[in-house]
Amino acid sequence: MPQVSKLSDKSKAGPKPSRSIAKVGIIGAGQMGSGIAHVVALSGYTVALNDLKRESYDKGIELIGHNMTRQVAKGLIKDADKDEAIERITFAPSMADFGDCDLVIEAATEDEDLKHKIFAALCPHLKPTALLASNTSSISITRLAATTDRPEDFIGMHFMNPVPLMELVELIRGIATEDETFATARTFVESLGKKIAVSEDFPAFIVNRILLPMINEAVYTLYEGVGTVEAIDKAMKLGAHHPMGPLELADFIGLDTCLSVMQVLYEGLSDSKYRPCPLLVKYVEAGWLGRKTRRGFYDYRGEKPVPTR
């Protein structure tokens, strides 16, 4: 089993990881949480996966099994790897089940108040040496850490979606994050086969600071009648060689998540260029959140996606 352990060579410069990681807790069994559980378990770690409902956990495990089967078909892993990884994942029905975890990664909805409540419920059950990480894509790590009993052991660990396929993880230090916490987190992420981009703790970090305003501008382009859904996505796929058009990508991410990130940028930087497009707000108010609700900028209820505008 892979472990992040203490380095004995004191002659090496720089911070040294000083804690072992063998068991990882993950809060949230949705698309991001299940994806993180997938790569963590496949890398040999024991995983405790939590969600409010057992049904959500079961759906997460089903998704993990489906995605690992695809990896087997492509020759990326073996059947035995898949079976062993799934066996390493267990359901954690309550926060008390994280008491023996060395690291807990929060991967709940992008809602700061919700995250605060989760950490308030979680921290009393953690052992003193446990590290805490948030998979937030935009919210201040310093602010989240300040609501816990261990801000020095708190870090941002932002995985990209879909987690099994995307190579990058953004690591974000809060103002109180200690060097050994950062070094331990870096070694852990690298053990998953991921590449790291280190970001300062500013709203939306690096990837979403650049990506979400582009998506928001695409929605404005639709809102102002410059182009249709189909024309906008075609223009960026063929004109800029993007693998997905920005509106198609918004549906994949989730329009509620896109709106949340834009609100964090707008409120955090006080710059009008980050104002969420009113059309994006309207779609979220309608409950048209993209693929997960089967309607967004495209309607996914038929045989193939159809633009909704």
Which residues belong to the active site? Answer: 137, 158, 170, 208
Beta carbons within 8 Å of 60's beta carbon, 6+ residues apart: 29, 30, 33, 34, 37, 49, 51
Output DSSP code: residue 290: B
Output DSSP code: residue 264: H
* Rounded distance between C-alpha atoms, residue 101 and residue 103, angstroms: 6
Query: Six-digit token pair at 85?
Result: 């990884």
Strand-pairing partners, residue 157, are: 171
The most distant pair of C-alpha atoms in the chain lies apart, rounded to whole Å, by 63
Strand-pairing partners, residue 170, are: 158, 197
Q: Is 232 helix (H, G, I), strand (E, B) or coil?
A: helix
Query: Six-digit token pair at 5?
Result: 């352990």
